Amino acid sequence: MPHGGNPVLRLLLRYWWVLYFAACLSWGIHDWGEILASPTMPNVTTGNIIPYNNHGKIVYITPSQSRAMIWQPCIGPILILIVFLVRQRQRKRET
């Protein structure tokens, strides 16, 4: 093997990356649709109380949507770091 390593683990990591990016894409499409359908006036009964600037148009989103928008960009770098550390540990075992 050119880079060494367990071929099964490498295959699983490749599948994991494909699934990760597919999940990010579907989550982004889902969030985009929800934001487009969000009301332009606060609605306490539905929980749409947090203002969000959507390209110059203020819409009101729910607290859970707001938390998702804050944490979603952080998940990717954390998972990339985990994969990098697992890969480094695997390389150390091989030497």
Kindly state the tokens that stand for 59.
Answer: 């819409």
What is the CA angle 23-24-30, rounded to 5? 85
What is the structure's pLDDT at 81?
Answer: 84
What is the structure's pLDDT at 4?
Answer: 58
Kindly state the tokens that stand for 66.
Answer: 């707001």
Low-confidence ranges of the chain (pLDDT < 50): 1
What is the structure's pLDDT at 60?
Answer: 95
What is the structure's pLDDT at 90?
Answer: 78
| pTM of the model as a whole | 0.57
The dihedral over CA atoms of 3, 79, 36, 49, expressed in degrees to the nearest 10, equals -170
